[in-house]
């Protein structure tokens, strides 16, 4: 198929979503059941992207793609369903570090993406091609076509601080080094990918998905232009808290929020976002936080935010959209 077959007409972005990986993927799977998928644009974090074995891997884009494509591995919580790991295991024979588990089907995505990037296509163009190949009707755009990288400065209990890539800290070192600081290399000079600012400017509703506030939403906000536009449209912005009952539902958000002085609660999320977000949807178990959140000028909506199935996620999406209409 020629590349032009993958170009989309300019569809109105009725709902724009800022997305990280797993939490966003679950929410978006509900959103596409509750709202017309063609009216949804997800702007996805790329600061976790990293090269492994010469291949360009985009963990967040792929989590969202596989979930919306209905081919995600629900048992592992990442990667493709019915996956095998023969190739990555075989690399061990050559003494290659293979702690980042890339499955055999997943590798096809990375091989295709890397080859296309080398041929001069942008990450946004390749992402569009890949999502169309999985018959995804919503639009997924990488936040930027430029290279930005989350750098975690961390230290073992008595050790010197040192810089780690996100996957080194998270997967290889199992989040053990204590986080001292986080920055997004390259973000200052990055530009939003084509379509990102238009989607945010035109959207009736802007959703900040339940994603890690520090390393999934943080990098999007660090790209010049995005945060200012959100602030201009604050009354249209709604966030779903990824923190329920004072802890992340999954993943290391607490280990990043606490050392950076962000309270690990839905209040902490609301406080972090309040400059550019008018409404926070938090879990019903956190009802006691409502007064504190409203006191910092953020409207509260409570719902069942534990997305145990796409149906629960669709119900949550309906509440989120309904609260903004």
- What residues line the site for ligand GDP (CB under 6 A)? 20-24, 26, 210-212, 215-216, 240-242, 244, 248-253, 305-307
Q: Within its chain, how far is the Cα of 180 from the centroid?
A: 22
Q: Within its chain, how far is the Cα of 195 from the centroid?
A: 17
Question: Nearest distance from residue 309's CB to ligand GDP, in Å?
Answer: 10
Question: Nearest distance from residue 305's CB to ligand GDP, in Å?
Answer: 4
Instruction: For residues 228 and 70, give the distance between their C-alpha atoms in angstroms, rounded to a whole number.
Output: 34
Instruction: For residues 313 and 325, give the distance between their C-alpha atoms in angstroms, rounded to a whole number.
Output: 18
Polymer length in residues for the chain:
325
Question: Closest CB to ligand GDP among 200 and 257?
Answer: 257
Instruction: For residues 295 and 279, give the distance between their C-alpha atoms in angstroms, rounded to a whole number.
Output: 12
Q: Which residues of 113-128 are buried (b: 16+ CB within 10 A; e: fewer)?
A: bbebeeeebbbbbbbb
Question: Nearest distance from residue 63's CB to ligand GDP, in Å?
Answer: 7
Question: Closest CB to ligand GDP among 130 and 240?
Answer: 240
Question: Closest CB to ligand GDP among 25 and 124?
Answer: 25
Q: Using CB atoms, what's the residue nearest to ligand GDP?
A: 23
Question: Closest CB to ligand GDP among 39 and 281?
Answer: 281
Question: Nearest distance from residue 160's CB to ligand GDP, in Å?
Answer: 25
Instruction: For residues 26 and 245, give the distance between their C-alpha atoms in angstroms, rounded to a whole number.
Output: 19
Question: Closest CB to ligand GDP among 13 and 212?
Answer: 212
Question: Nearest distance from residue 22's CB to ligand GDP, in Å?
Answer: 4
Which own/partner contact pairs does 76-83 have at CB distance under 8 Å and 24+ positions apart? 77/22, 77/250, 78/21, 78/22, 79/103, 79/106, 80/105, 80/106
Question: Nearest distance from residue 146's CB to ligand GDP, in Å?
Answer: 20
Question: Closest CB to ligand GDP among 18 and 126?
Answer: 18
Q: Which of 162, 180, 163 is nearest to 261 (CA)?
A: 180
């Amino acid at each position: 198929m020629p590349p032009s077959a993958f170009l989309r007409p300019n569809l109105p972005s009725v709902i724009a979503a800022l997305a990280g990986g797993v939490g966003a993927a679950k929410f978006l799977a509900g959103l596409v059941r509750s709202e017309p998928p063609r009216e949804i644009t997800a702007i996805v974090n790329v600061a976790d992207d990293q090269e492994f074995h010469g291949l360009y891997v985009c963990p967040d884009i792929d989590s969202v793609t596989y979930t919306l494509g209905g081919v995600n591995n629900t048992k592992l919580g990442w990667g493709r369903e019915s996956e095998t790991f023969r190739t990555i295991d075989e690399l061990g024979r050559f003494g290659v570090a293979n702690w980042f588990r890339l499955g055999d089907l997943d590798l096809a995505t990375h091989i295709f993406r890397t080859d296309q990037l080398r041929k001069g296509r942008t990450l946004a163009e390749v992402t569009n091609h890949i999502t169309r190949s999985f018959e995804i009707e919503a639009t997924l755009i990488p936040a930027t076509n430029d290279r930005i990288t989350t750098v975690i400065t961390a230290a073992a209990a008595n050790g010197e601080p040192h810089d780690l890539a996100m996957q080194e800290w998270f997967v290889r070192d199992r989040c053990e080094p204590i986080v001292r600081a986080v920055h997004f290399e390259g973000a200052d000079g990055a530009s939003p990918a084509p379509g990102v600012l238009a989607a945010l400017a035109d959207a009736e509703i802007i959703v900040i998905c339940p994603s890690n506030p520090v390393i999934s939403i943080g990098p999007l906000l660090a790209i010049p232009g995005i945060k200012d536009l959100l602030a201009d449209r604050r009354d249209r912005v709604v966030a779903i808290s990824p923190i329920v009952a004072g802890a992340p539902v999954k993943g290391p958000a607490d280990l990043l929020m606490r050392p950076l002085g962000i309270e690990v609660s839905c209040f902490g999320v609301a406080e972090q976002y309040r400059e550019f977000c008018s409404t926070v949807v938090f879990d019903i178990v956190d009802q006691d936080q409502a007064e504190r959140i409203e006191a910092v000028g953020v409207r509260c909506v409570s719902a069942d935010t534990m997305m145990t199935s796409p149906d629960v996620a669709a119900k949550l999406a309906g509440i989120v959209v309904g609260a903004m209409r």
